[in-house]
A and B are shown apart, each in its own frame.
Chain A
Amino acid sequence: MLSLTVNDHPYSVDVPDDTPLLWVLRDIIGLTGTKFGCGMAQCGACTVHLDGASVRSCVLPVAGAVGKKITTIEGIGATEIGKRVQQAWLGIEVAQCGYCQPGQIMSATALLAQKPMPTDADIDTAMASNLCRCGTYVRIRAAIKQAATGQASLPQTIA
């Protein structure tokens, strides 16, 4: 049995040590916000935080997450930066199909935690691992800046 802490909740799971964390989250624990896109850390849809740092859960053996604080998209809104990022994401209307967006939001939140005022180059480096086939990149960049500065550079949608 492995003990995990996900979004501040304890879970006990009975799976082989090398089961990727992604499938433990989705299939065993039932948190489906973290997505499967490629299975080889090429797309970033599976991004979660381990002690605040972004990792690709599709290639992280669950044993490697034991004793660490795991945060998923379901829990990121409880953090101050995560909440700002989600608000910016909605204000600008970043999401189209939305499948990649949990991973995008997790990577963006980790970036802002590390660099509160990221440059374009910082955004490129931090976000290049997250694919979006709908091509929402222009708005992802603008939303990160909006979350960072609190200033809206693009018109906001009417809620």
Chain B
Amino acid sequence: MTSPIDHARDDVDLQSPSRRELLKRGSLVVAFMWLGGASRVWGMKSGDRMDESHPLFAPNAFVRVGSDGSVQLVMPSVEMGQGVYTAQATLLAEEMDLGMDQITVEHAPPNRKLYANPLLGEQATGGSTTVRFCWTSLRDAGAAARYMLVSAAAQRWKVDPAQCTVARGVVTHSATGRTLRYAELADAAAKMTPPQKAPLKDPKDFQLIGKPLRRVDTPGKVDGLLLFGMDVRVPGMKIATVRACPSFGGRVASVDDARALRIPGVVKVLKIDNAVAVVGEHFWAAKQGLDALDIQWDRGVNANFTTEQMFADLANASEHGTPIVAKETGHPDDVKGKTIAATYQLPLLAHAPMEPINTLVHVQPDSCEIWVGSQVMARCADIAAKVTGLPPEKITVNNQYIGGAFGRRLFEESVGQAVAFAKQVDYPIKVIWTREEDIAQDCYRPAYYDRISATVDEKGKPVAWIDRTTGASVMASFAPAAMGKNGLDPDLVECAAELPYNIPNLRSEWVRHDFPEGMKVGWWRGVGPTHNVFVVESFVDELAHAAGQDPVSYRRDMLGNDPRVRGVLDLATQKAGWGQGALRARQGRGIALAAPFGSYLCVIVDVEVSPQGEVTLTRAVAAVDCGTVVNPNTVEAQIQGGLVFGWSAALYSGITLKQGAVEQRNFNDYRVMRINQTPPIDVHIVPSKEQPGGIGETGTVMAMPALTNAIFAATGVRLRTLPIDTSELVQDKDALKAVLSAVSSEDNQPADIAPHTGRVS
């Protein structure tokens, strides 16, 4: 997502801010603070929790070197599978000349002053911003620590620091061969003045950056010993599970808990305004207690709301609402010629990560401690302070490894809920949502109703383009300060207002249409780009077809001046063999091209569609230019995983509402992609020395249009509504009859999975 506080567009160089700029922004200046003495502490009260936990030498908020030789690196961002702990540790370890086996990583506590992500204006992990925001600042922090340690050694030896080298945390005076370990220098280094800016390594000397290093967290993920939030146990803890009012904005009217309280292991039933929790000695008792409750809901104002109503309202708003213009070049309304128009509809989406929402909270009269995996640590602390009424310094939040988020953990309302329950008891309670609750009480990716049109010249090339999207804003509630003066949500039009194509007359506009009160919006992997690239790249494909041209050469003809766009287009088409070899009937190849999150991607998908409309993905090829790569293994993994996440949604995902509540329950009816449906995915990374671009969400951005364009190529059917309705892909009316007559009643195979053919249906 774009920066809520638009620093990336300031004149100031984000990568190497002057100290004055840091002070002005109040974000990274205290990266160079340490805890040696009160007079040297900038912006922190002496009683702050940061002092308590660690030893001797904390030259800044990111590095702690102990005299026992331990080196802890504090991670400003949260690890949720995207490899950021390894990336951030790599940047620090590189400049400190440490091996990755010599460091351990720690989750950062809530502290906006120390850990805010300047690209998001908040202590937050998301928007594919992590490496982009800390690429220089973390290396600066590591270099500063190294500088002070080397200075301490040089001082002890009474030599020029320039004569010292460092390898694996050992400082050597080259001329005399004397050595000192970081552990032996920690005490003295703490008394050194931090440098204004320590010199960074020349990239040609990188030992760690750019290599496919083993991740720091994966050994524990493979031996099962690494703890996720769900796994944390504290003494005296009890476990609770919850049901909130299924219809958005509704409330608890009454609860009959007599049966629940008789279940062995059930301890207590707790209520808040809109939800009921059952506390048990263990989860199963709590769950059985929950199922034994008789809850009467006041279903509230949305009691009759449906998805049909939602889309009717969106269509109406699209026709009659007042659009906010995101960008206008030329005069798109005045251009005469053949016009092609299309309407695209995208569904509500849930996140459904593998780890359901869970929060462990212990509220005591003068403290509140929380253990939760979060993308927004400071906001968790804020909501806990609000709910308990305790001052901020009495709130402790311990971040945890997250079992998949895809944007879900950017919202702290579930933490607020857990605190509201926990303050009713004096023991710690771990609130675990069931999968059903996780789907029913998500913060949903909005539905969109998009009308797009182009006026084309005699060759079929677009000379005017108007893209009107209609839907809810996520930014308006997540970071209201980031909304434009005219009310524009900058994320909502990302990759719609700026295209990799040169179109002389273009307008991108948005009609805002919010969710009903009580229904929560959410960031979903790929955010604005996932929505817009689907529409743009599908529509470009439509235009190519209308012009009778190949989708690749059609795009090539329209490219603007950025060579990096051409670079990924060329690489992907070459690796995929676009245009070479013949595809058989009902086989198709589709392409998508875009530049989201500061990176450039081109993805080509091959599909085969059976006469009955079943879609099989047979291969995918991705070309990615993400600038300087910290860990190429992670880049490949994120592209592969992101593509699967996007295809899964395109094929199966659509949250529907009835009586103001979500109809989907679990993975049986909120279906997701499995291994037998996953094709080989070849990822090709463009070598680059440019600034790092984002990676975490980019695969998902490209997945859906590449797939639906391939389906069009295979079947001639243009899919403008997601999820894909395979009944639209049936070859002819005889195709289904052929299957029905072939399958006898003894032959009842499970419809869900056809393992040996990899078909999806």
Contacts and interface: CB of A to CB of B under 8 A. Distances in A.
Contact of B637 (A102, A125, A130, A136): A136
Interface string A119-156: 00101110110111111111111000000000000011
B435 A98 contact: no
A138 B224 contact: no
Interface in A29-67: 30, 32-40, 42-43, 45
Contacts of A135: 640-645, 648, 673, 678
Contacts, number: 206
A39 B434 contact: yes
A16 B264 contact: yes
Contacts of A141: 675, 678
A77 interface: yes
A42 B223 contact: no
B672 A99 contact: no
Contacts of B212: 93, 155-158
B140 to A, nearest CB: 25
Contacts of A157: 212-215, 633
Q: Is the interface of A mostly helix, strand, loop or mixed?
A: loop
Given A23-B283, A135-B673, A37 B435 contact: yes
B227 interface: yes
B672 A27 contact: no
B178 interface: no
Nearest to A20: B284
Interface string B637-674: 11011111100100000000000000000111000111
A35 B354 contact: yes
Nearest to B215: A93
Contact of A133 (B282, B283, B406): B406
- Max count, chain B CB within 10 A of own CB: residue among A43, A97, A121: A97
A90 B214 contact: yes
Interface string B208-238: 0001111101111111111110110100000
Contacts of A2: none
A159 B638 CA distance: 19
A96 B641 contact: yes
A88 B287 CA distance: 37
A79 interface: no
A12 interface: no
A32 B640 contact: no
A132 to B, nearest CB: 7
B403 interface: yes
A98 B672 contact: no
A138 B683 CA distance: 12
B432 A36 contact: yes
Contact of A132 (B82, B218, B354): B354
A34 to B, nearest CB: 8
Given A39-B434, A141-B675, A125 B406 contact: no
A43 B676 contact: no
B222 A134 contact: no
B17 interface: no
B404 interface: yes
Given A90-B214, A97-B80, A42 B403 contact: no
A5 to B, nearest CB: 18
A14 B278 CA distance: 21
Contact of A36 (B82, B224, B230): B230
A95 interface: yes
B756 interface: yes
**Looking at chain B, what size class is its interface with the partner chain?**
35 or more
B355 interface: yes
Nearest to A37: B354
A20 B282 CA distance: 11
A43 B670 CA distance: 12
B221 A98 contact: yes
B78 to A, nearest CB: 11
Max chain B CB contacts within 10 Å: which of A30, A36, A77? A36
Nearest to A97: B81
Interface in B491-534: none
A40 B668 contact: yes
B675 A130 contact: yes
Given A74-B225, A138-B678, A98 B218 contact: yes
A77 B223 contact: yes
Contact of A93 (B633, B644, B675): B633
A100 interface: yes
Contact of A98 (B81, B282, B758): B81
Contact of A42 (B101, B434, B666): B666
B260 to A, nearest CB: 15
B482 interface: no
Interface string A70-103: 0011100100000000100110011111111110
B667 to A, nearest CB: 4
Contacts of A130: 674-675
B76 interface: no
B161 interface: no
A9 to B, nearest CB: 15
A99 to B, nearest CB: 3
A136 B352 CA distance: 16
A112 interface: no
Nearest to B640: A138
Interface string A2-36: 00000000000001100110010011101011111
A157 B216 CA distance: 11
Contacts of A110: none
A73 B223 contact: yes
Nearest to A156: B212
B680 interface: yes
Given A73-B224, A124-B756, A138 B435 contact: no
B332 interface: no
A23 B286 CA distance: 11
22 contacts: A15-B265, A16-B264, A23-B283, A38-B435, A40-B435, A40-B666, A40-B668, A90-B214, A97-B403, A98-B81, A124-B676, A124-B755, A124-B756, A127-B676, A133-B645, A134-B644, A135-B640, A135-B645, A136-B640, A138-B680, A157-B214, A158-B211
Given A77-B223, A94-B222, A134-B644, 20 more contacts: A27-B284, A35-B355, A36-B230, A38-B667, A39-B435, A74-B225, A90-B214, A90-B218, A95-B221, A97-B401, A99-B228, A99-B354, A125-B756, A131-B354, A131-B667, A135-B642, A137-B674, A139-B637, A158-B212, A159-B214
Interface of B: 80-83, 101, 211-215, 217-228, 230-231, 233, 239, 264-265, 281-284, 287, 352-356, 401-406, 432, 434-435, 633, 637-638, 640-645, 648, 666-668, 672-676, 678, 680-681, 753, 755-756, 758
